[in-house]
Chain A
Amino acid sequence: MAREILLKIEGLRIEGRAGDGWTEIVKGIDLTLHKGEVLGLIGESGAGKSTVGLAAMGFARDGCRITGGSIMFDGIDLRTAPEPQRRALRGARIAYVAQSAAASFNPAHKLIDQYCEAPVIHAVMDRARAEHDAIDLYRRMQLPNPEDIGFRYPHQVSGGQLQRAMTAMAMACRPDLIIFDEPTTALDVTTQIEVLAAIRDIVRQFDTAAIYITHDLAVVAQAADRIKVLLRGQEVEEAPTRTMLAAPREDYTRSLWAVRSFARPEQPPPTDAPILSVRNVTAAYGKVAVLEDVSFDIHPGRTIAIVGESGSGKSTAARVITGLLPPKSGAVLFEGKPLPPALKGRKRDQLRQVQMIYQMADTALNPKLRLRELIGRPAQMYLGLEGKALETRVRDLLDLIELDPDTYIDRLPGELSGGQKQRIGIARALAAEPKVIICDEVTSALDQIVQEGILKLLTRLQDEFRLAYMFITHDLATVRAIADDVVVMQKGRVIEQGPKARMFTPPHEPYTELLLSSVPEMDPDWLTRLLDRRAALPG
């Protein structure tokens, strides 16, 4: 480890615009990175990891400004260097890989045109060589059809492939440093492994230094030599990966993986009839079949988890149950009686019984309504509450989700944190006094510690009101924590279903096995072992 220092950040301070003034979001961070070294930067959202990552390129987002410290990259102070000099470094010697490749590729240009842009503009190589090089890197990143894939537009390529194409693009000028900003967070577990392995290999092949930003400790453990933990713009601790995993010094660091220990006590097997049953449902969008012969039961007081990759039909099942998508055949039974297939045909009381909580609390709450109205409307519409009774009900609901009514009742969603917004989503669903709540990836946009709070809240409410939950998720840790029954779906079909204990005990169906083994573990050798094991398997 006696290699040259590539990047040295000292006393970095960054402010962000907040209303009329400025608040400090990075409060004096020091960071040293040697040539060819990978540093993991972890923390919850709001920890300032992305801001620090961008500052390592001498870049501050609109509404942010670097107010203190120095950023020395290979002898150049990026804070004081003139903009043209910084521009000459970006893309050429320091490259960036963004969280959502789908949003970060320009929809108007082909992949290879975007690949060739940096090398040609920075005069590293001419267009013909850059194209040739792109195909070579696409092959190394194990993209299918490396000769042709570059000539497609971003919308024609899947998310996992785009993420690898973006890593290839970052490699185009053979930079000394790459900033990976949550590169696998938006991917399914099975795709995450492929991308993670490809990133790790390419960084090693070209001896590139990297800053790997993520909130997932298990992911970063596979790629990083050292890990730095951030909390609210300050460093908590830094250590070599193995040391950090084996013996974290700070309580906060320990709490980052302690949250996974939460588990709902085992429930006795169901004795009563299912509250809601999906019977042999087949559904399609136009001619594209998305569900084929899907059946499962939801029991009062129990949680059924529907797991699978994106495109497996999990959310479509929810749309069929809520009546948003009438099925081609099959039926949805509520308390044994079939529900009208389409939303329009359902009575108000039938609608009231099944409520939904969405993944993106941000977009699921009307930003112009105060919490009083957001929570009050379903209570008003379904239960006919007015005036004093309505006010009392809204206050009770806020109490239930552990938000102080006096403080919060007149707030707008924009004045809440991500976890609080999700709590409002829960309160809104509860306001209708439903028997079934469908939770569509409700925790996947949240930090782990916030996730735990939401899961605990949901569990408490379930026990209090004997709610039946249908939990759509791709996160198997969540399933392990709170599910009673599990349905594994793939390509619109149910692969396997049963009580949680059985589902998590071998032997598994091959697809279930693939899903389970793809969940990253807190072990720096996990990825290597897994890849070796998979390579050893025939086929």
Chain B
Amino acid sequence: MILTRVALGIGLLFVVSLVIFWATELLPGDLATQLLGQSATPETVAALRAQLGLNDPAPLRYWNWLTGALTGDFGMSMGNGRPISDLIAARLGNTVFLALYAAALSVPISLILGILAALWRNSFFDRAANAGALTAISFPEFFVAYILVLWLAQTGLFPSMVRINPTTGLAERLYMTFLPALTLTLVVTAHMMRMTRAAIINLMASPYIEMARLKGMSPLRVVLRHALPNALAPIINVIALNLAYLITGVVVVEVVFVYPGLGQLMVDAVSNRDIAVVQAVALIFAAAYVALNLIADVLSTITNPRLMHRR
């Protein structure tokens, strides 16, 4: 069953790669002309086309691109002629770092808040947590980011610009990226918290929850041991969606904090018409989405005894 899921995921990714390639094919312009500029002679353009393999039929070029991408070779950037894999490698590391940082903050916070809100439902705490989370999610990201800059950077507590390079140490990195990570945490916590709360409360009317209470179990134990394990599937799925967002959707936050991540690279590449980079980043984003949802599916299966242990 899990193998089927993985196979489906790979198949899906293949389809996505086709769509990406096809979509960029539709764009006007020619790589060789762009690289050489307006003053190039037709001979040099033709030579470069031949060298880049642009005269090959589309399926062959797709095949070369795909096999290259599978081995980590995305070709050359048109902007500066460097290998795209080099460009991406550092950026991808930064993006994953920021996503993990934000996830490490937001997932525990939202799970704990969600569980407590379910435990003390309709209490002051529940209302306050809900109101806070909804407020945070209602503001646009850049607004949250600037508010944090105003409060936490203007006072000199944290830097408002992220200056990191591959040699920056971990502690320094965590300090430097605290504000973007906090911004993202505020943005994604509401979804996960509210799903946790709703999934647990949804089960609180089940006969087996009443049974646990009639066995004299404490309210906390009822929620943690009897409700939570049965509520995991929806929670895991909403966490996966939010993690995917943290990898693919954070360009605004990157811009505000001048963070060198993949989102900025993609936006720059689009404005420079650096098609090869756009293709590569789009493929990586798609892969992240598919992989995270795949992991969520597999985890949901593993945590459900009815699927793991057949009769």
Contact = CB atoms under 8 A, between A and B. Distances in A.
A and B interact: yes
B80 interface: no
Given A87-B218, A88-B216, A155 B305 contact: yes
Given A100-B207, A103-B206, A156 B215 contact: no
A2 interface: no
Interface string B281-311: 0000000000000000000000101100111
A121 B230 contact: no
B208 A91 contact: no
A156 B311 contact: yes
Contacts of A156: 309-311
Contacts of B225: 109, 117
A57 interface: yes
Interface residues of A, number: 31
A90 B226 CA distance: 17
Contact of B215 (A61, A91, A107): A91
B83 interface: no
Given A90-B216, A107-B306, A121-B221, A62 B205 contact: yes
A105 interface: yes
Interface in B209-240: 210-218, 221, 225-226, 229-230
Contacts of A57: 214
B213 to A, nearest CB: 7
Given A91-B217, A108-B305, A155-B305, A61 B210 contact: yes
Nearest to A110: B305
A45 B177 CA distance: 62
Interface string A90-130: 11100110101001111111000000011001100000000
A76 to B, nearest CB: 14
A190 B163 CA distance: 76
A122 B216 CA distance: 8
Identify the interface centre among B210, B211, B218, B229: most chain A CB within 10 Å of its CB.
Answer: B211
Interface in A478-532: none
Given A153-B309, A156-B311, A103 B215 contact: no
A107 B216 contact: no
A121 B226 CA distance: 14
A121 B216 contact: yes
B149 to A, nearest CB: 44
A438 to B, nearest CB: 29
A138 B207 CA distance: 22
A107 B214 contact: no
Nearest to A118: B215
Contacts of B309: 152-153, 155-156
Interface in A20-60: 54, 57, 59
B308 to A, nearest CB: 9
A56 to B, nearest CB: 11
A89 interface: yes
A156 B308 CA distance: 11
A104 B306 contact: no
A96 B215 CA distance: 8
B207 A91 contact: no
A338 to B, nearest CB: 36
A203 B205 CA distance: 29
Nearest to A102: B207
A118 B207 CA distance: 17
B214 A91 contact: yes
A104 B211 contact: yes
Contacts of B213: 59, 90
A107 B215 CA distance: 16
Interface in B65-84: none
Contacts of B215: 90-91, 95-96, 117-118, 121
Contacts of A88: 216
Q: Which 10 A-B pairs have the closest CB atoms?
A: A91-B215, A90-B216, A108-B229, A91-B216, A103-B207, A96-B214, A153-B305, A106-B208, A104-B207, A104-B211
Interface of A: 54, 57, 59, 61-62, 86-92, 95-96, 98, 100, 103-109, 117-118, 121-122, 152-153, 155-156
Given A104-B210, A122-B216, 4 more contacts: A90-B214, A92-B216, A108-B229, A156-B309
23 contacts: A61-B210, A86-B216, A87-B216, A88-B216, A90-B213, A90-B216, A91-B216, A91-B217, A95-B215, A98-B210, A104-B208, A104-B210, A104-B211, A105-B208, A105-B211, A107-B305, A107-B306, A109-B229, A117-B217, A121-B221, A152-B309, A155-B306, A155-B311
